[in-house]
Amino acid sequence: MSDHYVKVSIQLEEMKSFGEDAEKEGVDTEEQVPVCSPSASVSPPDPSSTTIAGRDASNTSITCKHRGKSRSKLGKDDKNSCGKHTSDVSLHGSVVSAHVGRNLNRLTHDRTLHVKGTGKILQGKSETNGNNVTVHPSKNIQETRREDGFKHARKGRPVTVDISKAKTSLEALKLSIKQLKWKEFPLGRRAACDIYWHGVSFHDNDNIVSGQVNKFPGMIEMLRKINLSRAVRTMQELFPEEYDFYPRSWILPEECQQFSTQIRMVKENDATINPTFIVKPDGGSQGDGIYLIRDPSDLKLMVGTQAKQAVVQEYIQRPLLIDKLKFDIRLYVLLKSLEPLEIYIAKEGLTRFCTEPYQEPSQKNLSHVFMHLTNYSLNVHSGNFVHSDSQSTGSKRTLSSVLYRLAAKGVDIKKVWSDIIALVIKTAIAVVPELRVYYQCDIPPGKPGPTCFQILGFDILLTKNLKPVLLEVNSNPSMRIEHEQEVAPGVFEYVPSPVDEEVKVGVIRDTLRLMDPGHKKPSISQHGEEIPMEAETQERSPDEGALPSLCLKQVYPKYTKQFNYLRLVERIASLFIRFLGVKGNMRMGPTAFRTFIRTCKLSNSNFSMASVDILYIDITRRWSGTMPDSREAGMGLQAFVEAFFYLAGRRFKSLVLREQVVSLLQLCEAQLESQSGVEERRSVSCSRAMPRAVRTLGLTNPQLNSPAPLRRASSQDYRLHQRLKPRTLRANVEN
């Protein structure tokens, strides 16, 4: 370990003890809010000690006056969160405690909990919605599946991992498994494995009915540039200030006209503004097909079937530079579970440097890829690329070495790190609703299937004023631990890369440790959220004794109370899933939409069922043209969200959008709550006619409380399913 790295570790440890000291002294570090930051803001670069002061539903952080306008103009990345220009990086975010704002949609009350096995007393706040409707059932499908996994957890045998589909992650995965003393199956295994490691997608191997897979269904689709932009845009409509970390984007070709008109207007209003835009093909990666433009007329649009789906995005003109070079951060994030939402962030990441000194974009340098694009895959082909065994020099460095360097210049890296954590949590909150739709489609409740987890690669740029900006999220971040090197002119070979190995093996190994089926199950609070435990305090298996402490740190549900108020679209998705109808569907038909309206009592004399049908047809038709990869006809989640916003706007005209949506959600949830009471009473009265398994599931799973699933549940297929209990059978074979 280099001196430098030791220093960074010491610094990180000091920060950690700062957080722990604060905890010991009974200071609620999570209540700290930095001045002028409307979004969540934190402290230390070690998430184990990070104190995030985001906004509680009952807390609104202090907002700068300029802030609300921040999205109205382009090319504003050179302003700090107070709207002031900063010329260098020595920026110190001051932190004050504050309790302001008002509660929008939930009540909070203190609770104290003893977490079994840790001897720790945790204090936190439990949450209920204003009308006492909890969106997440206390025990949901994913949890139930995982519990099944725990039941069959190994007894003295090593955890088994199917690595036959691992592709380019193979080397790092094998090293991780070796460190854990687990058992790998390079050619797969006839009996089920505990964990399946897929190199590309959930569907790399379609015959998995138990265990855990390292990919979520739908993740690739969800994180394509257009879908991600759409999901973030929906959140920007609801929470513009909280979601200002994503550059303004337009979807091509459909929003081409809109893009041209808006830019023309901006330029006409202020001739000094000369923005640059970056055009990125929808399914592209590694910088393929990306180009910069300064005028909408430079868009390379094809017509007809050749029309390329792409995103055109505001280009961040003033990134933070180190050694005069632009760089970006690759942060590894583990999405451990969708329900309940569990997110971990790797303490160590990578930074990728350009290989040509940066200059602000001009017509002359727009095509200089080595100046503007940080992709490793491009820059490695530049003559200036520096391969280095040191973690703090060269064209690829560790994140901690860069943070250390910034700290030495006086940068408040705790604040930078806290903003990064907030960005990650908010992005996850934006994409999770649709992921839940994919999940129930591929692994419907009642069907045997695995549980999922996934390592994601967040690409983040720091602006000159140290604001993290999300560039994209990779569903398949490269886990290669070798790099390409030109051994002779034009001849490239893969050679070991110590920097990649250090970071990536840690991420994979610790992901596996967290997913160990024998790992102690964290406590579940009475409200369904898991009580966060520091990873180190979780029970270790005897094999883990020699392993370093986990490099992955939980950030959600740890910071639930700061971010839970953002999860409105997820509640809309819960309604959507409930009314979807037939299992395996991604899209809602007109009848299901009508049922939703009727059940939630949303039609009246001013809004007839005929108007409901017109609304359905209108929105569905518009959306179907924008979704080339649609699996079936009907209304997808994004279209449903649009319809929901419309209904909310009609019903609660005097409120702002966010409050309209909250009010409509409360109304719908209250209706469903009262009706599920009726359903329950009815089901009790006719319980003798129904199979026992169905009765039990109906009570624990709200999806099965809706009339359609109940009908399905009583079908012969379903009863057969219940009787066979394939998961139990398979587990018996394995043992």
Over the window 292 to 331, marking each residue x when it contacts ligand ADP by CB under 6 A and - when it does not, the resulting string is ---------------------x-xx-----------x---
Q: How far is the CB of 471 from ligand ADP (least distance, A)?
A: 4
Over the window 449 to 478, marking each residue x when it contacts ligand ADP by CB under 6 A and - when it does not, the resulting string is ----------x-x---------xx------
Record the tokens describing residue 152, joined without a space: 């069959």
Q: How far is the CB of 328 from ligand ADP (least distance, A)?
A: 5
Q: How far is the CB of 273 from ligand ADP (least distance, A)?
A: 16
The CA distances from residue 265 to 73, 262, 273, 461, in Å, are 10, 5, 11, 28
Nearer to ligand ADP, 200 or 524 (CB): 200
Q: Would you say 78 and 84 are in contact if contact means Cβ atoms under 8 Å apart? A: no
Record the tokens describing residue 559, joined without a space: 């910071």
Nearer to ligand ADP, 278 or 592 (CB): 278
Q: How far is the CB of 728 from ligand ADP (least distance, A)?
A: 43
Q: Would you say 405 and 321 are in contact if contact means Cβ atoms under 8 Å apart? A: no
Q: How far is the CB of 202 from ligand ADP (least distance, A)?
A: 20
Q: How far is the CB of 378 from ligand ADP (least distance, A)?
A: 8
Q: How far is the CB of 371 from ligand ADP (least distance, A)?
A: 10
The one-letter code for the residue type at 635 is: M
Kindly report whether the peptide bond that precedes residue 340 is cis, defined as omega within 30 degrees of 0: yes
Nearer to ligand ADP, 292 or 668 (CB): 292
Q: How far is the CB of 284 from ligand ADP (least distance, A)?
A: 5
The b-or-e profile of 120-148 (16+ CB within 10 A means b, else e) is eebebbbbebbeebbbbbeebbbbebbeb
Record the tokens describing residue 502, joined without a space: 């250090």
Nearer to ligand ADP, 291 or 559 (CB): 291
Nearer to ligand ADP, 294 or 521 (CB): 294
Q: Which range binds ligand ADP by CB under 6 A, 280-288, 403-411, 548-556, 647-655?
A: 280-288
Rounded distance, CA 439 to CA 187, Å?
27
The one-letter code for the residue type at 309 is: Q
Identify the H or E element spanning 8.
Answer: helix 3-24
Angle 91-96-101 from CA coordinates, rounded to 5°: 120
Residues numbered 231-260 forming contacts with ligand ADP, rule: CB under 6 A: 247
Q: Which CB contacts under 8 angstroms, 24+ apart, belong to 361-367?
A: 361/276, 361/292, 361/294, 361/315, 361/317, 363/294, 366/276, 366/291, 366/292, 366/293, 366/294, 367/291, 367/292
Nearer to ligand ADP, 145 or 483 (CB): 483
Nearer to ligand ADP, 51 or 276 (CB): 276
* Binding-site size, ligand ADP (CB under 6 A): 20
Q: How far is the CB of 377 from ligand ADP (least distance, A)?
A: 8
Nearer to ligand ADP, 247 or 468 (CB): 247
280 binds ligand ADP (CB under 6 A): yes
Residues numbered 23-82 forming contacts with ligand ADP, rule: CB under 6 A: none
Q: How far is the CB of 125 from ligand ADP (least distance, A)?
A: 36
Nearer to ligand ADP, 162 or 459 (CB): 459
Record the tokens describing residue 179, joined without a space: 């460190």
Rounded distance, CA 53 to CA 41, Å?
5
Identify the H or E element spanning 647.
Answer: helix 637-651
CA atoms within 13 A on the CB side of 262: 17
Residues numbered 149-208 forming contacts with ligand ADP, rule: CB under 6 A: none
287 binds ligand ADP (CB under 6 A): yes
Q: How far is the CB of 406 from ligand ADP (least distance, A)?
A: 18
Contacts of 182 (CB under 8 A, 6+ apart): 158, 159, 160, 161, 512
442 binds ligand ADP (CB under 6 A): no
Nearer to ligand ADP, 246 or 593 (CB): 246
Report residue 517 CA to chain centroid gap.
Answer: 23
DSSP classification of residue 538:
S
- Strands 249-252 and 310-314, how do they pair? antiparallel
Q: Which of 284, 457, 477, 532 binds ligand ADP (CB under 6 A)?
A: 284
Nearer to ligand ADP, 75 or 149 (CB): 75
Identify the H or E element spanning 462.
Answer: strand 454-462
- Which residue, 491, 453, 557, 396, is CA-closest to 196? 453
The sign of the dihedral angle between the CA atoms of 96, 97, 103, 104 is positive
Q: How far is the CB of 315 from ligand ADP (least distance, A)?
A: 4
Q: Which range binds ligand ADP by CB under 6 A, 84-92, 285-293, 559-567, 630-638?
A: 285-293
Kindly report whether the peptide bond that precedes residue 253 is cis, defined as omega within 30 degrees of 0: yes
Nearer to ligand ADP, 163 or 460 (CB): 460
Q: Is 502 exposed, middle or buried (0-12, 13-18, 19+ CB in 10 A)?
A: middle
The sign of the dihedral angle between the CA atoms of 719, 724, 726, 728 is positive
Q: Which range binds ligand ADP by CB under 6 A, 44-52, 279-287, 379-387, 631-639?
A: 279-287
Q: How far is the CB of 79 from ligand ADP (least distance, A)?
A: 16
Nearer to ligand ADP, 165 or 326 (CB): 326
The CA distances from residue 582 to 338, 341, 436, 458, 477, in Å, are 22, 25, 16, 35, 34
Nearer to ligand ADP, 461 or 637 (CB): 461
Rounded distance, CA 322 to CA 582, Å?
54
Q: How far is the CB of 462 from ligand ADP (least distance, A)?
A: 11
221 binds ligand ADP (CB under 6 A): no
Q: Which of 131, 285, 663, 671 binds ligand ADP (CB under 6 A)?
A: 285
283 binds ligand ADP (CB under 6 A): no
Q: Which range binds ligand ADP by CB under 6 A, 166-174, 278-286, 569-577, 720-728?
A: 278-286
634: left (phi over 0), alpha (psi -120 to 50) or beta: left
- Which residue, 474, 553, 516, is CA-closest to 176? 516
Q: Would you say 196 and 205 are in contact if contact means Cβ atoms under 8 Å apart? A: yes
Q: How far is the CB of 73 from ligand ADP (least distance, A)?
A: 16
Nearer to ligand ADP, 316 or 416 (CB): 316
Rounded distance, CA 277 to CA 287, Å?
15
DSSP classification of residue 550:
P
The one-letter code for the residue type at 111 is: R
Over the window 94 to 133, marking each residue x when it contacts ligand ADP by CB under 6 A and - when it does not, the resulting string is ----------------------------------------
- Strands 212-213 and 451-452, how do they pair? parallel
Nearer to ligand ADP, 446 or 477 (CB): 477
Nearer to ligand ADP, 378 or 619 (CB): 378
Q: How far is the CB of 532 from ligand ADP (least distance, A)?
A: 31
DSSP classification of residue 530:
B
Nearer to ligand ADP, 281 or 450 (CB): 281
Record the tokens describing residue 220, joined without a space: 């690739």
Residues numbered 371-390 forming contacts with ligand ADP, rule: CB under 6 A: 373-375
Q: Which range binds ligand ADP by CB under 6 A, 298-306, 367-375, 425-433, 501-509?
A: 367-375
Question: Which residues bind to ligand ADP, rule: CB under 6 A?
Answer: 247, 278, 280, 284-288, 290, 313, 315-316, 328, 373-375, 459, 461, 471-472
